[in-house]
Homo-oligomer: A and B are copies of this chain.
Amino acid sequence: MFDKIALIGLGLIGSSLCHVIRREGRAGKITGHARSAETRATALKIGLVDEIFEDAAAAVDGADLVILCVPVGAIGTVAEAISGNLKAGAIVTDVGSVKETVVRDISPHLPDGVHLVPGHPIAGTEHSGPESGFSELFENRWCILTPLPDGDEATTQKLEAFWIACGSNVERMEVAHHDLVLAITSHVPHLIAYNIVMTAKHLEDVTDSEVIKFSAAGFRDFTRIAASDPTMWRDVFLNNKHAVLEILGRFSEDLAALQRAVRWGDGDMLFDLFARSRAVRRGIVEAGQDTDAPDFGRRS
């Protein structure tokens, strides 16, 4: 489908893309770039790409599709580095969890005739690095594309077809709306998860070992997402400040009301709220976005 796909960044998303592109035969050739020599060596060793480059510009040379899979804080630098080597008519996309600053940071560097279609596959695990990828990562997950108002429709459709081939469902969204939707479905949940892990670590009267032993009571569900890549997440919060602060403000307001209900023993309010949140869970299971297996099918 593409003669040559260039992957800039070979972490969890980049390496998973390599696997699925091969499995589905979507590229004549896959080239890659990674900043670290160790990642480049691993990528060659496990056969992620056909050719690996220390220089990002060399990797995109002649590519029809360039996918930027670096933390969003690095995306401007990368766009600048490759700009001189982009082929006329090439599609440039990304996989960043934030879209407004990504568009702001990439756009100025793209020559005329190169199409920018920002993207965000809603998929991940808590693992990172070139060996963490697997071809099923995008299966039945959503990929959001945020085509720009002056974008070319045929190009967007070509990228849509690519993500569908990777196993994803595709949804289009405006850039600013994407950032708000992700603030509630992803960014604030991660921040809260990081936060409670830290609150637990700092308790004087409960040891780390007790927290770990008894984590199956609920705490462990938070720790998976609090184990995600720190660089990626630092960049998300630095680049989606406005929406994250808006959602966090609402979260804290709601929590204060709940705390008051606990303090004053308002059992009816607590019961009502707990009963209503069950319905949201049912919706997620019915939509195939989670499994209903007890314990997530965790094995002990």
A residues sitting closer than 8 Å to B (CB atoms) are 73, 97, 122-127, 132, 134, 136-137, 139-142, 144, 171, 177, 180-182, 184-203, 205-206, 208, 210-228, 230-231, 233-235, 237-238, 241, 244-245, 247-248, 250-252, 254-256, 258-259, 261-263, 265, 267, 270-271, 273-278, 280-284, 287-291, 293-300
Contact = CB atoms under 8 A, between A and B. Distances in A.
Contacts of A141: 216, 300
A211 B195 contact: no
A97 to B, nearest CB: 8
Given A182-B214, A281-B224, A251 B195 contact: yes
A196 B186 contact: no
The prevalent SS among residues of A at the interface is helix
Given A233-B270, A265-B238, A254 B218 contact: no
B255 A127 contact: no
Contacts of A214: 122, 142, 144, 181-182, 185-186
B295 A216 contact: no
A187 to B, nearest CB: 8
Q: How many copies does the complex hold?
A: 2
A181 to B, nearest CB: 5
A184 to B, nearest CB: 5
Contacts of A291: 298-299
Contacts of A218: 185-187, 189-190, 193, 225
Given A233-B270, A241-B263, A271-B231, A194 B258 contact: yes
Contacts of A224: 221, 281, 290, 296
A208 B283 contact: yes
Given A184-B200, A194-B273, A274-B194, A220 B284 contact: yes
A284 B223 contact: yes
B134 A220 contact: no
B297 A125 contact: no
Nearest to A237: B262
Contacts of A211: 181, 184-185, 280
A275 B275 CA distance: 35
Contact of A276 (B73, B132, B198, B295): B198
A300 B142 CA distance: 12
A295 B192 contact: no
Q: Which 5 pairs from chain A and chain B are nearest by CB?
A: A186-B217, A227-B281, A230-B274, A125-B294, A140-B300
Contact of A225 (B73, B122, B221): B221
Most chain B CB within a 10 A radius of its CB, from A215, A270, A283: A215
B245 A263 contact: yes
